[in-house]
Amino acid sequence: MSAESSDRQFENWAESLRTEYEAFLRQSWAAMQAARKGHWIEDTEEHVREAGEVFRRQALEKLLQAQVTEGQGSFSPSAGRRLGQQGSADGDAPDGGGARGSAAAGVAAARRRAGRAGR
- 40-64 tens-digit pLDDT: 999 999 999 999 999 999 999 999 9
pTM of structure: 0.56
Q: Which domain holds residue 61?
A: 3-71
The reply to whether 115 falls in a domain is yes
Same-domain check for residues 101 and 48: no
Q: Are the beta carbons of 104 and 114 closer than 8 angstroms? A: no
The reply to whether 15 falls in a domain is yes
Same-domain check for residues 15 and 65: yes
Measure Cα distances from 62 to 5, 10, 41, 78 in Å. 17, 11, 30, 28
Tell me the average pLDDT across 57-78: 80
Q: What's the structural domain count of the chain?
A: 2
Same-domain check for residues 9 and 55: yes
Q: Are the beta carbons of 86 and 79 closer than 8 angstroms? A: no
The reply to whether 44 falls in a domain is yes
The reply to whether 79 falls in a domain is no
Q: Is the pLDDT of residue 1 over 70?
A: no
